[in-house]
């Protein structure tokens, strides 16, 4: 890393001028003096790379625009490169080239960090430069820096996040307006909260990438987005969202990273029942929140806008200022050591479950269903019937159960002649569960506590 004079502006190149890039460029150009006054560092925007340099961009001087990002990332005049293109290619190659050329890199690219974060961090560390990505998880919410720095000595036990605004918007609409998943998705698309192809959000890919990043930071290990088991929200009937509400729960798509019994890590994304009194239950609409539990710090929650041009640009700008200060003092942000992650297989994860089962109105149905639960040591905590006769739906809340046992129960239920359909299968998060006799009997099952 080349030293730079304390009194000169730190030169910033931005790759990408879309939703976030345009907002950042606006802040850098329109509020340069204010940023310098508030932060104590002068930033100079020296270039903006885009795919189509012929497109007119209101408020962006044409002389700053280039179609050749490769030239910007190795330009000796550039101190900090901000990657806001998204995706893996060419973002990865550009970030690697920038780091290798001794530039600090700031990115909002969760896909890139979740897939290649460890190797990029190693490249940055070897070059003695920053790789900062506050905006890659939960947009405007400062969560990366708190996990990396404020909680550096904390024994984090669990990180639970609502990290996808699209799915939270859809689930909020389903809960509050009683509409179907399809109608709520349509409304999210109409308002611009969901893409025309919403699969990255509703199938949990986006949240899984963020879960991997949060887990890696909280537990000082390398977790890759593709290793995170995920379940999306597409199969949740409105009736189950309503039943959950009657039982005192709110349905949320959660990214969970937690330490389990023998030091293994469970990282996963799934729709979950959260008690209405839990802080995450009050996170409505497109907002995000991350709830951290640690041995010494207790419970923390950070809440805010998880997407949008300006909120995301705000987080990116914070990183740019950090990187600029570090450049001026010839230093870089701390890079905590990372070991390999020992991930718990999904079948071994334990929590209470909400299960809804549609059954025929026949004598002996309940006994047959209860036998299936019992055969796989899944202990029923409560059961209620919704509807009568042909329409009957049985809703079960279980005690803490092993996922593999629940899946075996579901397979057996699906084969019972009286069972029309196994409906929603949702994990319950944020409750302290009394261990059932069955759970106590199983290895590692005693005293299961979920929060
Ligand atoms: N949007 C959000 O609310 C949000 C929130 C958090 C994080 N993020 C992350 O922020 C990043 C940017 O997202 P966005 O929504 O701003 O994306 P976007 O609106 O699609 O903008 C992408 C930009 O990249 C440019 N680009 C594409 N290929 C390029 C190339 N080869 N060389 C140079 N520039 C290229 C495009 O140029 P043209 O303008 O010429 O097409 C465009 O300006 C992503 O990693 C995303 O995950 C976004």
For the CA of 19, the closest atom of ligand 1 is: 16
Which of 82, 79, 96, 73 lies closest to 327, judged by CA?
79
Is 26 in the same domain as 98? yes
Ligand 1 midpoint to CA 118 (Å): 22
Q: pLDDT tens digits for 30-58? A: 999 999 999 999 999 999 999 999 999 99
Is 387 in the same domain as 327? no
- CA nearest ligand 1 atom 44, residue: 86
Lowest mean pLDDT among 2-16, 144-158, 193-207, 315-329: 2-16
For 4, the enclosing helix (H) or strand (E) is none
Q: How many domains does the chain have?
A: 3
Pocket residue to mutate for ligand 1, from 51, 105, 135, most atoms within 8 A of Cβ: 51
Q: CB under 6 Å to ligand 1: residues?
A: 15-21, 49-52, 55, 69, 84-86, 90, 108-110, 135, 139, 307-308, 312
For 353, the enclosing helix (H) or strand (E) is strand 353-359
More confident residue, 336 or 214: 214
The reply to whether 202 falls in a domain is: yes
DSSP three-state, residue 400: coil
- The secondary structure of 21-73 as a DSSP string is HHHHHHHHHHSHHHHHHHHS--EEEEEEE-S-TTS--TTS-GGGEES-HHHHH
| The pLDDT value given to residue 310 | 97
Report the pLDDT averaged over residues 217-238: 95
The reply to whether 322 falls in a domain is: yes
- Domain with 116 in it: 10-139+309-340
**Is residue 270 pLDDT above 70, yes or no?**
yes
- CA nearest ligand 1 atom 31, residue: 51
Q: How confident is the model at residue 5 (pLDDT cuts 50, 70, 90)?
A: low
- CA nearest ligand 1 atom 14, residue: 19
The reply to whether 450 falls in a domain is: no
| The pLDDT value given to residue 434 | 55
- CA nearest ligand 1 atom 15, residue: 19
**Is residue 158 pLDDT above 60, yes or no?**
yes
| The pLDDT value given to residue 447 | 28
Pocket residue to mutate for ligand 1, from 14, 15, 16, most atoms within 8 A of Cβ: 16
- Residue 336 sits in a domain whose CATH number is 3.40.50.720
Ligand 1 midpoint to CA 92 (Å): 14
| The pLDDT value given to residue 144 | 97
**Is residue 403 pLDDT above 60, yes or no?**
yes
- Residues contacting residue 245 through CB under 8 Å, at least 6 positions apart: 175, 276
Is 54 in the same domain as 119? yes
Report the pLDDT averaged over residues 290-301: 98
Is 171 in the same domain as 296? yes
Q: How confident is the model at residue 338 (pLDDT cuts 50, 70, 90)?
A: confident
Omega of the bond leading into 125 within 30 degrees of 0 (cis): no
Q: pLDDT tens digits for 83-129? A: 999 999 999 999 999 999 999 999 999 999 999 999 999 999 999 99
**Is residue 150 pLDDT above 50, yes or no?**
yes
The reply to whether 448 falls in a domain is: no
- The verdict on whether 103 is a catalytic residue reads no
Is 216 in the same domain as 238? yes
| The pLDDT value given to residue 433 | 76
**Is residue 441 pLDDT above 60, yes or no?**
no
Q: How confident is the model at residue 445 (pLDDT cuts 50, 70, 90)?
A: very low
Q: Which percentage of the chain shows pLDDT scores above 90? A: 87
Terminal Cα-to-Cα distance of the chain (whole angstroms): 45
Lowest mean pLDDT among 53-67, 277-291, 332-346, 396-410: 332-346
The reply to whether 2 falls in a domain is: no
The 8-class DSSP code of residue 345 comes to P
Report the pLDDT averaged over residues 199-220: 97
With helix as H, strand as E and coil as C, how does 186-228 read? HHHHHCCCCCCCCHHHHCCHHHHHHHHHHHHHHCCEECCHHHC
Report the pLDDT averaged over residues 21-38: 98
- CA nearest ligand 1 atom 17, residue: 18
Report the pLDDT averaged over residues 339-365: 92
* Cα–Cα–Cα angle for 389, 396, 242, rounded to 5 degrees: 75
Domain boundary among 340, 355, 387: 340
Q: pLDDT tens digits for 271-281? A: 999 999 999 99
The reply to whether 376 falls in a domain is: yes
| The pLDDT value given to residue 263 | 86
For the CA of 109, the closest atom of ligand 1 is: 45
Ligand 1 midpoint to CA 421 (Å): 43
Pocket residue to mutate for ligand 1, from 13, 14, 15, 19, most atoms within 8 A of Cβ: 19
Ligand 1 midpoint to CA 84 (Å): 5
Is 164 in the same domain as 232? yes
Is 162 in the same domain as 205? yes
- Residue 236 sits in a domain whose CATH number is 3.30.360.10
pTM beyond 0.75: yes
Is 152 in the same domain as 256? yes
The reply to whether 4 falls in a domain is: no
Q: How confident is the model at residue 335 (pLDDT cuts 50, 70, 90)?
A: confident
- CA nearest ligand 1 atom 5, residue: 307
Cα separation of 380 and 373, whole Å?
8
Report the pLDDT averaged over residues 187-199: 97
More confident residue, 326 or 363: 326
- CA nearest ligand 1 atom 23, residue: 16
Domain boundary among 340, 363, 384: 340
Is 164 in the same domain as 231? yes
Report the pLDDT averaged over residues 162-175: 98
Is 120 in the same domain as 179? no
Ligand 1 midpoint to CA 129 (Å): 23
Q: How confident is the model at residue 388 (pLDDT cuts 50, 70, 90)?
A: low
Pocket residue to mutate for ligand 1, from 14, 21, 53, 136, most atoms within 8 A of Cβ: 21
Q: pLDDT tens digits for 131-144? A: 999 999 999 999 99
Ligand 1 midpoint to CA 81 (Å): 14
> 55, 103, 110, 210: which one is catalytic?
210
For the CA of 53, the closest atom of ligand 1 is: 40
Which of 93, 83, 77, 6 lies closest to 49, judged by CA?
83
**Is residue 448 pLDDT above 70, yes or no?**
no
- CA nearest ligand 1 atom 41, residue: 51
Cα separation of 319 and 301, whole Å?
21
- Residue 386 sits in a domain whose CATH number is 3.30.70.260
Is 19 in the same domain as 125? yes
Ligand 1 midpoint to CA 146 (Å): 26
The reply to whether 424 falls in a domain is: yes
Q: How confident is the model at residue 336 (pLDDT cuts 50, 70, 90)?
A: confident
Q: Which residue has the tokens 């979920």?
A: 450
Ligand 1 midpoint to CA 316 (Å): 13
Is 185 in the same domain as 301? yes
| The pLDDT value given to residue 450 | 29
By the 10 Å C-beta count (0-12 exposed, 13-18 middle, 19+ buried), 413 is classed as: buried
Q: Which residue has the tokens 């899984």?
A: 208
Task: Tell me the average pLDDT of the chain.
Answer: 93
**Is residue 444 pLDDT above 90, yes or no?**
no
């Amino acid at each position: 890393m080349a030293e730079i004079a304390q009194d000169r502006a730190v030169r910033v190149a931005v790759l990408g001028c879309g939703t976030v890039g345009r907002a950042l460029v606006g802040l850098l150009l329109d509020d340069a003096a204010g940023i310098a006054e508030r932060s104590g560092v002068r930033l100079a925007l020296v270039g903006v790379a885009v795919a189509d340099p012929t497109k007119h961009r209101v408020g962006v001087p044409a002389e700053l625009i280039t179609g050749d990002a490769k030239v910007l990332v190795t330009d000796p005049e550039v101190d900090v490169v901000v990657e806001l293109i998204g995706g893996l290619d060419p973002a990865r190659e550009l970030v690697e080239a920038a780091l290798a050329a001794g530039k600090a890199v700031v990115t909002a690219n969760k896909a890139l960090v979740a897939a290649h974060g460890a190797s990029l961090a190693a490249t940055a560390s070897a070059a003695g430069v920053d790789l900062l990505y506050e905006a890659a998880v939960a947009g405007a919410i400062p969560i990366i820096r708190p996990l990396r720095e404020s909680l550096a000595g904390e024994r984090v036990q669990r990180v639970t996040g609502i990290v996808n605004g699209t799915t939270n918007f859809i689930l909020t609409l389903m809960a509050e307006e009683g509409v179907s998943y399809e109608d709520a998705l349509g409304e999210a698309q109409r308002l611009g909260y969901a893409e025309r192809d919403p699969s990255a959000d509703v199938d949990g890919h986006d949240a899984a990438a963020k879960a991997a990043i949060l887990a890696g930071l909280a537990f000082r290990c390398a977790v890759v987005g593709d290793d995170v088991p995920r379940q999306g929200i597409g199969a949740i009937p409105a009736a189950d969202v309503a039943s959950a509400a009657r039982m005192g729960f709110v349905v949320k798509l959660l990214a969970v990273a937690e330490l389990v019994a023998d030091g293994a890590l469970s990282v996963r994304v799934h729709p979950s029942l959260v008690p209405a009194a839990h802080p995450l239950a009050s996170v409505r609409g497109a907002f995000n929140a991350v709830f951290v539990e640690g041995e010494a710090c207790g419970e923390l929650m950070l809440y805010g806008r998880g997407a949008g041009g300006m909120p995301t640009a705000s987080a990116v700008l914070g990183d740019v200022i950090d990187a600029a200060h570090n450049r001026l003092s010839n230093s870089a942000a701390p890079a905590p050591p990372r070991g390999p992650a020992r991930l718990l297989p999904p079948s071994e994860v334990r929590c209470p479950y909400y299960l809804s089962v549609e059954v025929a109105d026949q004598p002996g149905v309940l006994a047959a269903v209860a036998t299936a639960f019992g055969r796989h040591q899944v202990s029923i905590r409560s059961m209620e019937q919704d509807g009568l006769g042909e329409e009957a739906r049985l809703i079960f809340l279980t005690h803490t159960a092993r996922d593999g046992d629940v899946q075996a129960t579901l397979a057996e239920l699906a084969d019972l002649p009286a069972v029309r359909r196994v409906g929603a299968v949702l994990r319950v998060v944020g409750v302290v569960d009394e261990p059932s006799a069955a759970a106590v009997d199983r290895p590692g099952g005693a005293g299961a506590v979920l929060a």
